[in-house]
A and B are shown apart, each in its own frame.
Chain A
Amino acid sequence: MMSILGVMVGYNPGDLATDWASTVVLHAQQPEAVDEFVPIDELPPQDQLPAAPLLVVAYAFVVLALFAYLVSVARRLGAVQRDLERLQAELKRSGRT
């Protein structure tokens, strides 16, 4: 519920960081408060996330998603193709009535 309020309340064309009560709601949802863009090398070392896992997961996801869709289309196409052939064979047998 609070996240829904976060949507409603945090959506603002004004200054994101200094918006009134919504910052409380936003901060409550996020792992670390971000008031402005902080370049990553200026963060203390313990706050720095390793980038490699994120990168690998991202690329792996892209490949998997595209592949999964390809397989889905191929399977559906194969099923329809089989039905078509079966129906056409039946029609031929019954002499195209």
Chain B
Amino acid sequence: MIAGSDILQSAWRNPRGRTGALILLIVVVAAILGPSLLPDPLAQPDVLGASRPPGLGHPFGTDQLSRDVLARVVTGARISLSVALLAVALSVTLGAIIGLVSGYWGGIVDAALMRMVDGALAIPRLFILLLVLAVWERVPVLALIVLIGATGWFATSRLVRGEVLRIREEGFVRAAEALGARRRRIIFRHLLPNALGPLLVAATLGVGDVILLEAGLSFLGLGIQPPTPSWGGMILDSREVMISAPWAGIFPGVAIVITVLSANLFGDALRDAVDPRSA
């Protein structure tokens, strides 16, 4: 078994993993501190200042409503990251619980759960969300987080189930069972800690996926609702001014690429640490 801190240390020693972690840290700090240092992302100072190219005063330019693009990108980071972290926390928890139950209890519970997961995996996540969100008039952010989290655990539960099935046959679990350890003790002391590595990897890679997913939903008008700035929503707004003010759409996209890429670089380094064969 590899402990969580060992995995993190090993990922940190990987140059690309470290680059990813550092960039992600910068994005997080910017998201926390940025909004208080920058102009109000909702303020529309004047019509004459609309669609200004990047320059002094507005490093990323202004959009068609004269709002500061940098301030909106940074506030968007706060929103995108919070949605992603909360949704991933929910989906990983659900995936872990269902995977543990399915793998440990087995039998009909396992069969029923896994058939359901098969069915759910047949519908791409985007379509599941479209179906629910399309009839919803205005989606509250909390509902969006819950929905994205509730549609992200299918693959994780399979992963955890596989780990549980593998570990359950190991000598130390058999020994614990023979010694009369209770189910709860076996699950929390033996099974869960051993499945933690793959879960950590799934969570980190899940952050990147959810950022892309939320941006996509917002681009379709179903995610974060205006005027709250979100990266996908900003790209949607920029569609009509792409020719006259391309910066309004380019910068939020670059922010997505940088954030998702660094999360995935770190996730890959974690994966290599958990499963050295994949390196």
Q: Do A and B bind each other?
A: no
Q: Please report A residues at the B interface, Cβ cutoff 8 Å.
A: none
Chain B residues with a Cβ under 8 A of chain A: none
